[in-house]
Amino acid sequence: MRKSPEEVLNNIFGFDSFLGLQNEVIDHVIAGNDALVLMPTGGGKSLCYQIPALCRDGVGLVISPLIALMRDQVESLTQLGVRASVLNSTLTHGEIKATEQELLEGSLDLVYVSPEKLLTEEFLNHLSKCKLSLIAIDEAHCVSQWGHDFRPVYLKLNILKKLFPDIPRLALTATADGPTRRDIIERLEIKERQLFVSSFDRPNIKYTIVSKDDSKSKLIKFIEDHHSGDSGIVYCMSRSKVDTIAQWLIGEGFNALPYHAGMDKNDRAINQDKFSKEEGVIVVATIAFGMGIDKPDVRFVAHLDLPKSIESYYQETGRAGRDGLKSNAWLAYGLEDLSKIIHFIVSSNASEDQKRIERQKLDALLGLCETMRCRRQVLLEYFGESLKNPCGNCDTCLEPVKSFDATVATQKALSCVYKTGERFGAAYVIDVLLGSNSARIVQFNHNKISTYGIGKEYSKNQWRSIFRQLVAKNLLVVDMEGHGGYRLGENSSGVLRGEEKVLLREEQFSKTAGRSRDKPKQAKVTLDNEEDEALLQDLRAHRRELASEQKVPPFIIFHDTALLEMAKKRPVSIVEFGKLPGVGKTKLERYAAGFLKVISSRG
Ligand code: ADP
Ligand code: ZN
């Protein structure tokens, strides 16, 4: 008799209930239908095809572009007692032949294949002789040129519909934007009514955005206060900055490693592997460190530079907290980011239309950075979703921003931009407002104009914050054609004439953002009770041993969610152990005794 999805969920995966739309998608696919599944990272996409593959006859074919990801998935499934294998270019001829034979015999539940391997004539031919339960196309946004990871080879995947018309196909992605979504439906020929879209909210991620002044001390304080001993990613815009920041973090006593496309391929792979297999590694990276990170316990993602768009920001921060446990997204941004990004946009070879789109995306991102509202509400609205109430788990919710009447300040800033000829950047204009004696100011005679020195009531940092907000409100426009100087925005005249008021967010600039140097760097306490925490550390140590014996990342043995429950519930019998999340039959047989021993030794 066929197994029911619930049985598979409980017995094999060790979970009590389905998340979100999983149940609906699974029933729909088991009934033989196609589907496009849009869920955020950590939303539980894998089960949407793994369970139907185990419930239907035949082997589930999973197409995935990332070799490291395939390996981890297959390893995780094997740990669960599922018969899974992988086919890609890294295998030997013999290994490939063996797996192909298993496919033919039907002795596999799931096989992961790279698109390049799949699309060879020989392999397609072989597949036509095998019995398939379903075809899953993972990272389906790779089919779209709008997406950020376009892979031409994905365009050829629609051949699967012709070759296997009766096999249900499901495409999965965490990319939410409209054009990409439409492209996937069209190119893979999946009908619109077979669309499953879950909420893109990631409630376990806390969003914080700070100003960039003193960003390095702020970063250290953030890590020390919230993430001692945790795994995390620090994103920087350039390769050289990655190297500098990684060196600096190491010098400050952190376990940090660099990652960018300019590094030797081997070194890069080693660093990625350490991040995955060891605990508490911080990777400092450009966005080259991206897809292919399925580590569930990344506890924070910090940006030291502004990402390109809200989409990129959401995708990058989405790598935190896949396991659903509390995580942080932290961003420091400043005026210098703006000029750099605008410079990138202007100097790229893109069409004017494309440049305008990029500019709009940047504006939306600025709006997020400078909002006084709940960050999550702004983020979700950008993706066409609405959240009724403020989330209570972002910086603006937790520490509501005060606003101040900045009408006069704005008038001063705008008229100073105007009087200096609408061609200078913020740093210069602020110097004029503050009455600096710099040689340049004297050279241009700007120490003689009426706005010279009229802004001394604010500090440099406060002016920078004001300028950022004026740009976000389009009262100032960064000149796309010239050298990144500011022009007055079209809506600035009302303010200059005193007809409109301007409210801006009041930022707190503390002079002592420094770290508390004497604080010992112990691993972060994740449980309130000290004894539970001590047990958790023992459980982690046992997991580490098992993982290194088997040469797999610790999360493949058990996710943190399982260890936390173990420490809290302290099961004493096999039956109790089996009730923990993520403990299915196979893991129960393999690991219960060892972990129970650790628990009983703590009494
Ligand atoms: P995605 O591929 O969408 O990023 P995953 O499939 O990796 O997400 O799942 C994210 C996390 O949620 C994993 O840690 C997984 O074990 C867990 N998970 C998935 N489905 C369930 C469920 N029904 N109950 C509990 N945990 C689940
Ligand atoms: Zn909020």
Is residue 515, in this structure, part of any structural domain at all?
Answer: no
Residues 547, 164: Cα–Cα separation, whole Å:
39
Is residue 220, in this structure, part of any structural domain at all?
Answer: yes
- Separation of 207 CA from ligand 2 center, angstroms? 8
For residues 104 and 216, membership in a common domain is answered with: no
Given a contact cutoff of 8 angstroms between Cβ atoms, the answer to whether 394 and 387 are in contact is no
> Which 8-state DSSP code applies to residue 400?
P
More confident call, 143 vs 60: 60
The pLDDT, as a whole number, for residue 482 is 63
For residues 122 and 218, membership in a common domain is answered with: no
For residues 236 and 111, membership in a common domain is answered with: no
For residues 550 and 482, membership in a common domain is answered with: no
Digit-coded pLDDT (tens) for 414-434: 999 999 999 998 899 999 999
Is residue 521, in this structure, part of any structural domain at all?
Answer: no
Can you give the CATH number for the domain in which 499 is found? 1.10.10.10
Q: What is the mean pLDDT of residues 272-297?
A: 89
41 lines ligand 1 (CB under 6 A): yes
Residues 149, 268: Cα–Cα separation, whole Å:
20
333 lines ligand 1 (CB under 6 A): no
560 lines ligand 1 (CB under 6 A): no
Digit-coded pLDDT (tens) for 310-348: 988 998 999 999 999 999 999 999 988 887 888 888 888
Q: What is the CA radius of gyration of the chain?
A: 27
For residues 385 and 459, membership in a common domain is answered with: no
What is the pLDDT of the chain when averaged over all its residues? 90
Under the banding of pLDDT at 50, 70 and 90, the label for residue 521 is very low
Tokens of 545: 């041993």
Is residue 346, in this structure, part of any structural domain at all?
Answer: no
Tokens of 478: 């960064």
For residues 484 and 536, membership in a common domain is answered with: no
Taking residue 584's Cβ as centre, other Cβ atoms within 10 Å add up to: 20
46 lines ligand 1 (CB under 6 A): yes
For residues 411 and 282, membership in a common domain is answered with: no
The pLDDT, as a whole number, for residue 361 is 86
Q: What's the first-to-final CA gap in the chain, in angstroms?
A: 44
Under the banding of pLDDT at 50, 70 and 90, the label for residue 183 is confident
The pLDDT, as a whole number, for residue 527 is 74
* Nearest CA residue ID for atom 24, ligand 1: 15
Q: Which ligand neighbours the alpha carbon of 23 most closely?
A: 1
Residues comprising the chain, all counted: 603
Can you give the CATH number for the domain in which 51 is found? 3.40.50.300
Q: What is the mean pLDDT of residues 477-485?
A: 73
Tell me the CA distances in angstroms from 60 to 67, 115, 128, 335, one per residue in order.
18, 15, 14, 50
For residues 234 and 283, membership in a common domain is answered with: yes
Under the banding of pLDDT at 50, 70 and 90, the label for residue 389 is very high
Domain end marker among 178, 197, 216: 197
Is residue 582, in this structure, part of any structural domain at all?
Answer: yes
Task: Tell how strand 132-137 and strand 169-173 pair up.
Answer: parallel
For residues 130 and 264, membership in a common domain is answered with: no
Q: What is the mean pLDDT of residues 380-398?
A: 93
For residues 122 and 86, membership in a common domain is answered with: yes
Under the banding of pLDDT at 50, 70 and 90, the label for residue 47 is very high
Tokens of 317: 């921060």
Q: Which ligand neighbours the alpha carbon of 16 most closely?
A: 1
Under the banding of pLDDT at 50, 70 and 90, the label for residue 96 is very high
Under the banding of pLDDT at 50, 70 and 90, the label for residue 511 is very low
- Separation of 19 CA from ligand 1 center, angstroms? 8
Residues 50, 112: Cα–Cα separation, whole Å:
11
The pLDDT, as a whole number, for residue 288 is 83
- Separation of 42 CA from ligand 1 center, angstroms? 6
Residues 55, 65: Cα–Cα separation, whole Å:
25
Given a contact cutoff of 8 angstroms between Cβ atoms, the answer to whether 30 and 52 are in contact is yes
Is residue 517, in this structure, part of any structural domain at all?
Answer: no
Segment among 88-92, 166-170, 535-539, 549-553 with least mean pLDDT: 88-92
Can you give the CATH number for the domain in which 580 is found? 1.10.150.80
More confident call, 513 vs 477: 477
Under the banding of pLDDT at 50, 70 and 90, the label for residue 173 is very high
For residues 380 and 456, membership in a common domain is answered with: no
Q: What is the mean pLDDT of residues 102-106?
A: 94
For 109, the domain range is 5-197
Is residue 355, in this structure, part of any structural domain at all?
Answer: no
Model confidence at 193: pLDDT above 80? no
* Nearest CA residue ID for atom 26, ligand 1: 15
For residues 389 and 413, membership in a common domain is answered with: no
Is residue 567, in this structure, part of any structural domain at all?
Answer: yes
Residues 100, 93: Cα–Cα separation, whole Å:
11
Tokens of 414: 């705008």
Number of domains observed in the structure of the chain:
4
Domain end marker among 505, 540, 568: 505
Segment among 184-193, 195-204, 257-266, 404-413 with least mean pLDDT: 184-193
